[in-house]
Amino acid sequence: MSVILNSRLEDQAAPPVAVLDWGRTEYRSAFALQEAMVRDRISGGIGDTLVFTEHEPVYTLGVRPGAEKHLLIDDATAAARGIIIVKTNRGGDITYHGPGQVVGYPIVDLAGRRDLHAYLRLLEQVLINTLGMLGLAADRRAGKTGIWLGTRKIAAIGVASRRWVTYHGFALNVNTDLGPFTGIVPCGITDGTVTSMHIELGRPVAMAEVKELLAREFQALWASR
């Protein structure tokens, strides 16, 4: 069952943003839930919502041409490692989701400002601000998607929208086992590596704290957009 972490912005003049935590989910089930929420948001049945989840191991392929070429193992090998492979409709290339990673799915209406690029910059800033509060000076990288520490990628971003309602979102490596990334060329990038908060800080990081900060930053930036 979804758990409401924070159902309303502190600034009551702004539209409320619900924050839900789905816990551990299988990717295809979570995608179906996202699609249902998008329909509900379009119809006005729900308000803007930020969903957190932590997926069972999965490689997801986005709509970027050639994404399949960046899968370095076959289905049987992936299955033997406990990883499923799913084609999806988000933007971007191939990435990995698994335990220890915070995945954020904002289901929000961009009708007031129909600018996907501005929305992507907002997601980037949410991640940069959150990592900064936890002691990591992350940033954008020219010509690359996601959030980086130098040439080490710590968060991936890939979104889609339907009638200006967004879905998919971001994935932040917190305590993630990075081993499965060796089975792909993450996001098609050959001049960088992946990293996690655990590796960079030299200690495990509380997932609940990360989600709380992400929610707070998302709500603040969404209210001020």
Catalytic residue positions, numbered: 187
Exposed (0-12), middle (13-18) or buried (19+): which is 12, by Cβ within 10 Å?
exposed
Query: Which residue in this structure is represented by tokens 């130098």?
Result: 150
Cβ(61)–Cβ(88) under 8 Å?
yes
Helix (H) or strand (E) holding 154: strand 152-162
Among residues 139, 133, 162, 166, the alpha carbon closest in space to that of 151 is found at 139
DSSP 167: E
Question: Measured between alpha carbons, how far apart are the two ends of the chain, in Å?
Answer: 31
The DSSP bridge pattern shows strands 165-173 and 18-25 to be unpaired
- How far is it, in rounded angstroms, from Cα 92 to Cα 204? 29
H or E element: which one contains 106? strand 101-107
